[in-house]
Amino acid sequence: MSDLFDLPPVGPPGFRYQAELISPTEADDLAARLDELPFQPFLFRGYEGRRRVVSFGLRYDFNGPGLVAAETMPDWLLPVRDKAAAFASLPGEAFAHVLINEYREGAPIGWHRDRPVFDKVVGVSLLAPTIMRFRRRVAAKFERINAPLAPRSAYLLDGAARDAWEHSLPEAQARRISITFRNLRS
């Protein structure tokens, strides 16, 4: 019997997937370093989400001015940033922003598109698998696509996947970390 995570992920146009962007050793090292970060609850217009976050380079303040400066990206994060950038056909320095999300068991993320100030989005998954759900309105209905995300994999949102489709994640079944890199639109 085939498992959902054995199938090659398919998403909307502009979605790309790479299994095993990082090695098991790199994933273990990242997870240990991420455990030391000062995660804070995700705040959105006065609402506190069930996930926790930390940003580097830039961060998006949903309760204030929008894009603001954040602490410099730590050196230990640069190798994964560079792999994510190569996957997106960008130089590493193009990723001015990284958002690290911690999803504890039961934490979802609702339907959304990333803010228009950002261009390409690359997410690197750690610890637990999940399903990235996509939807777009077609007439009175939604067209939907689900793409499984395995630990140590990466996805790219570009073009229509980035601009025409919304995405969400169901409630986490176990602790999961997503390292999301974004470059700025020119």
Query: So what's the pLDDT on residue 8?
Result: 55
Query: So what's the pLDDT on residue 40?
Result: 87
What is d(CA 83, CA 62) in angstroms, rounded to the nearest whole number?
28
Centre a 10 Å sphere on the Cβ of residue 53 and count the other Cβ atoms it contains. Answer: 19
Query: So what's the pLDDT on residue 159?
Result: 94
Q: What is the pLDDT of residues 144-164, one digit of tens each?
A: 999 999 999 999 999 999 999
- Closest alpha carbon to 41 in 87, 84, 130, 103: 103
Query: So what's the pLDDT on residue 70?
Result: 86
C-beta separation of 54 from 39 below 8 A: yes
Query: So what's the pLDDT on residue 1?
Result: 40
pTM for the full model? 0.89
Which residue is it, tokens 């560079």? Answer: 82
The segments of the chain whose pLDDT lies below 70 read 1-9, 42-46, 48, 60-64, 66, 68
- Closest alpha carbon to 166 in 92, 88, 95, 112: 112
Centre a 10 Å sphere on the Cβ of residue 23 and count the other Cβ atoms it contains. Answer: 10
Helices 24-34 and 78-87: crossing angle in degrees, nearest 10, is 130
Beta bridge partner(s), residue 148: 131
Query: So what's the pLDDT on residue 2?
Result: 46
Query: So what's the pLDDT on residue 6?
Result: 55
Query: So what's the pLDDT on residue 98?
Result: 95
What is d(CA 82, CA 95) in angstroms, rounded to the nearest whole number?
9
CA distances from 157 to 22, 23, 147 (A): 18, 22, 12
Find the DSSP H helices in 43-155: 78-87
C-beta separation of 13 from 160 below 8 A: yes
- Structural domains in the chain, CATH included, are 4-184 (2.60.120.590)
Tokens of 166: 């919304």
Helix (H, G, I), strand (E, B) or coil at 65: coil
Which residue is it, tokens 């994999």? Answer: 153
Query: So what's the pLDDT on residue 41?
Result: 82
